[in-house]
Amino acid sequence: VVGYNDGVVDIIELKPNAGPSALGQVNGYSLLYARDINISPTPQAVLVTDTLRLDMDEMAENEEVTLIIV
User: Percentage of the chain with pLDDT > 70?
Assistant: 100
In this structure, the dihedral spanned by the alpha carbons of residues 57, 61, 65 and 66, taken in order and rounded to 10 degrees, is 60
Please list the helix, strand and coil fractions of the chain in percent, rounded to the nearest 5, in that order: 35, 30, 35
Q: CA–CA separation, 13 vs 49, rounded Å?
A: 8
Q: What is the pTM of this model?
A: 0.92
pLDDT at 39 over 90: no
pLDDT at 65 over 90: yes
As a whole number, mean pLDDT of residues 34-44 equals 88
**Other beta carbons within 10 Å of 45:** 24
As a whole number, mean pLDDT of residues 35-49 equals 91
| Contact residues for 50 (Cβ-Cβ < 8 A; gap 6+) | 16, 17, 69, 70
Q: What is the pLDDT of residues 10-34, one digit of tens each?
A: 999 999 999 999 999 999 999 999 9
